[in-house]
Amino acid sequence: MEYETVIGLEVHAQLLTKSKMFCSCSTDYASAPPNTHVCPVCLGMPGVLPTINRQAIEYAIMTALALNCTISESTRFDRKNYPYPDLMKGYQISQYDSPLSRNGWLTIEVDGESRRVGITRVHQEEDVAKLWHRTDPSGESYSLVDVNRAGVPLMEIVSEPDLRSPEEARQYLIKLRSILQYLGVSTGNMEEGSFRCDANVSIRRAGSNEFQAKAEVKNMNSFKSVYRALEYEVERQRKIVEEGGKLLQETRGWVEDKGITVSQRSKEYAHDYRYFPEPDLPPLVVSRELVEEMRSRLPELPDARRDRFVSQYGLSWYDANLLTTSRAQADYFESCLKLFPEDSDLKRNAKTVANWLLGEFARLFNVTGTEIDDSKVKPQHLVEMLHLIEEGTLSTKMAKSVFEEMFHTGKRAAEIVKQKGLTQISAAPELEAIVDRVVLENAQAVADYKQGKEQALKFMVGQVMNATKGQANPQVVNELLKNKLGEGQPV
Ligand code: ADP
Ligand code: ZN
Ligand code: MG
């Protein structure tokens, strides 16, 4: 039997506002001592009144517009009631049947094809407190509550059940995070919990249009975990169905170190939450002027920027896509291009900078766990180094080691070259002696070359490069060797 996977994602993103959603406490709690960014409103004291954070609403509108949603003329907040120690008021202010926006989409690319994924809604709510579960040395366990996070603006983005594989889910998350980062509305950092994803997944007979009972999987804290959890869950469900079992609607938790999902509870339904309109807040009328103002503030978004990189700079779709996924990286790339002489070849410069960003840069970011924002190598420094390659002072090979030092120390290329006495040996007299020696020591290669084997020439170039510890200019070596060996002339 063939099965089809059905996935819909619910993403919660903390918004980068200065203050909380319904009070003026600071949202900047990451390094603050516990329970220092609190007030009667976010502590859930009786008799206090919430006020709506305008900036949060503006950010949510911008997001909804970027996701092609329709913005409601009038929207309302509702109380979602449930008892839990992280919920100070005993309810969360959220939005139920009158969300800020609906009916959008974003585009993902999988296997070279682009596909639209429906966005059901983008709505606004508030974060809950953070619980710290502890066990003391005697074995007694307890929980601590940090209310700093309670009331931080949280935007919820719900997708349609349009995703058909864990890979599509991953691409959706990458694209969504990229859009939020371009808008500057959220850090999109999943490890820090400012971007969280609940993944709903079910399977059905291939060709069927019916939806089957889904599992909602929680607790993943990286894109990779979402992918793994979905793969695991699809396989688990398939086994149950094949053994004739019945799947239940349930909430499951991902256990990272075991690589499995475990049942947490049977699914709760909307009626379990006793939703009702928030009586302390008036309906929110969203003027069309505000919507248009927000629309005019939208920056160029990742898809548009990728397509422009292809047409304007002649990059491949693949490279352009990688470069534009991170706004910071795309900005860096374009800053570099502005630093080249005006009469130089734009497309060639673009290809060179892209190669360094996606090659050595990416490798070192990976190794050091840093990002382009942390980079000590500024666009100016990279372009200076490329200039040293261009003028022949550095071979590409030397440039790699110079770059690595620039990356770690922040020193400029010229300084490193001077300190280490590095300069490419391109002056012919110095090289000629080495070339002569290589020719003498490699009679077989010389003979092969004379019989037309190009490979033999490459081999000898390699030998010269080794002998100079990479400090020779390979093009010059090539020329020298060819001159020396002539076309079929005895040496
Ligand atoms: P719930 O009643 O659980 O809140 P919703 O209809 O609001 O369900 O959908 C929540 C999320 O689950 C959405 O992202 C939606 O796309 C997804 N979803 C709904 N039905 C299914 C299904 N059968 N399989 C997979 N995902 C689903
Ligand atoms: Zn507060
Ligand atoms: Mg729902």
CA dist., res. 62 & res. 155, Å (int): 12
Decide whether any atom of ligand 1 lies within 6 Å of the 199 Cβ. no
Q: Residue 113, SS3?
A: strand
Higher-scoring residue by pLDDT: 481, 96: 96
The DSSP bridge partners found for residue 143 are 133
Whether residue 237 sits in one domain with residue 285: yes
The yes-or-no verdict on residue 85 having pLDDT over 70 is yes
Please choose from 12, 80, 214 the residue to mutate so as to test ligand 1's pocket, defined by most ligand atoms within 8 A of CB. 214
CA dist., res. 419 & res. 15, Å (int): 47
CA dihedral 351→357→358→360, nearest 10 degrees, is: 120
Whether residue 282 sits in one domain with residue 416: no
> Which of 375, 404, 420 is the C-terminal boundary of a domain?
420
Residue in 52, 71, 70 with CA at minimum distance from that of residue 153: 52
What is the residue-averaged pLDDT of the chain? Answer: 93
Whether residue 205 sits in one domain with residue 74: yes
Higher-scoring residue by pLDDT: 473, 149: 149
Decide whether any atom of ligand 1 lies within 6 Å of the 5 Cβ. no
Whether residue 141 sits in one domain with residue 20: yes
Predicted confidence (pLDDT) per residue in 403-442, tens digit: 999 999 999 998 888 887 766 665 666 788 888 889 999 9
The CA-based angle 96-100-104, given to 5 degrees, is: 105
Whether residue 483 sits in one domain with residue 357: no
> Which of 264, 294, 324 is the C-terminal boundary of a domain?
294
Predicted confidence (pLDDT) per residue in 1-14, tens digit: 799 999 999 999 99
Q: What is the number of the ligand 1 atom nearest to the C-alpha of 211?
A: 23
Whether residue 390 sits in one domain with residue 439: no
Decide whether any atom of ligand 1 lies within 6 Å of the 9 Cβ. yes
* Domain membership of residue 32 as a residue range: 3-294
Q: How far is the CA of 78 from the centre of ligand 2 (A)?
A: 19
Q: How far is the CA of 280 from the centre of ligand 2 (A)?
A: 16
- Count of domains observed in the chain: 3
What distance separates the 2 farthest-apart alpha carbons in the chain?
101
Predicted confidence (pLDDT) per residue in 174-230, tens digit: 999 999 999 999 999 998 999 999 999 999 999 999 999 999 999 999 999 999 999
> Which of 401, 420, 439 is the C-terminal boundary of a domain?
420
How would DSSP label each residue in 33-86? Answer: PTT-S--TTTTT-TT------HHHHHHHHHHHHHTTPEEPSEE--EEEE---TT
CA dist., res. 320 & res. 310, Å (int): 6
Whether residue 432 sits in one domain with residue 415: no
Please choose from 165, 198, 200, 203 the residue to mutate so as to test ligand 1's pocket, defined by most ligand atoms within 8 A of CB. 200
Cβ–Cβ < 8 Å for 312, 337: no
Question: CA-CA distances (angstroms) from residue 45 to 88, 89, 254, 277?
Answer: 8, 7, 34, 19
Whether residue 434 sits in one domain with residue 403: no
Whether residue 290 sits in one domain with residue 308: no
Predicted confidence (pLDDT) per residue in 287-337, tens digit: 999 999 999 999 999 999 999 999 999 999 999 999 999 999 999 999 999
**Residue 78 burial by CB count (10 A; 0-12/13-18/19+): exposed, middle or buried?**
buried
Q: How far is the CA of 200 from the centre of ligand 1 (A)?
A: 6
For the entire predicted model, the pTM comes to 0.85
Q: Going by CA atoms, what residue is nearest to atom 2 of ligand 1? A: 269
Note the pLDDT of residue 491.
41
CA dist., res. 481 & res. 435, Å (int): 7
Residue in 299, 291, 293, 300 with CA at minimum distance from that of residue 69: 291
CA dist., res. 118 & res. 107, Å (int): 9
Whether residue 335 sits in one domain with residue 251: no
Decide whether any atom of ligand 1 lies within 6 Å of the 200 Cβ. yes
Residue in 120, 143, 132, 156 with CA at minimum distance from that of residue 21: 156
Q: What is the number of the ligand 1 atom nearest to the C-alpha of 160?
A: 16
Residue in 95, 295, 58 with CA at minimum distance from that of residue 185: 58
Residue in 417, 413, 409, 349 with CA at minimum distance from that of residue 385: 413
Decide whether any atom of ligand 1 lies within 6 Å of the 6 Cβ. yes
Predicted confidence (pLDDT) per residue in 157-184, tens digit: 999 999 999 999 999 999 999 999 999 9
Whether residue 199 sits in one domain with residue 317: no
- Kindly identify the ligand whose nearest atom is closest to the C-alpha of 268: 1
Predicted confidence (pLDDT) per residue in 225-266, tens digit: 999 999 999 999 999 999 999 998 999 999 999 999 999 988
CATH of the domain at 448: 1.10.10.410
Is the dihedral angle over the CA atoms 92, 97, 102, 103 positive or is it negative?
A: positive
CA dist., res. 410 & res. 380, Å (int): 12
- Kindly identify the ligand whose nearest atom is closest to the C-alpha of 36: 2
Residue in 182, 245, 190, 183 with CA at minimum distance from that of residue 9: 190
Higher-scoring residue by pLDDT: 452, 97: 97
Decide whether any atom of ligand 1 lies within 6 Å of the 158 Cβ. yes
Note the pLDDT of residue 390.
87
Q: Please report which confidence band the pLDDT of residue 488 belongs to, taking 50, 70 and 90 as the band edges.
A: very low
How would DSSP label each residue in 234-303? Answer: HHHHHHHHHTT-----EEEEEETTTTEEEEEEEPP-GGGGT-EE-TTS--EE--HHHHHHHHHTPPPPHH
Q: What is the mean pLDDT of residues 327-352?
A: 95
Whether residue 360 sits in one domain with residue 279: no
Cβ–Cβ < 8 Å for 59, 126: no
452: left (phi over 0), alpha (psi -120 to 50) or beta: left
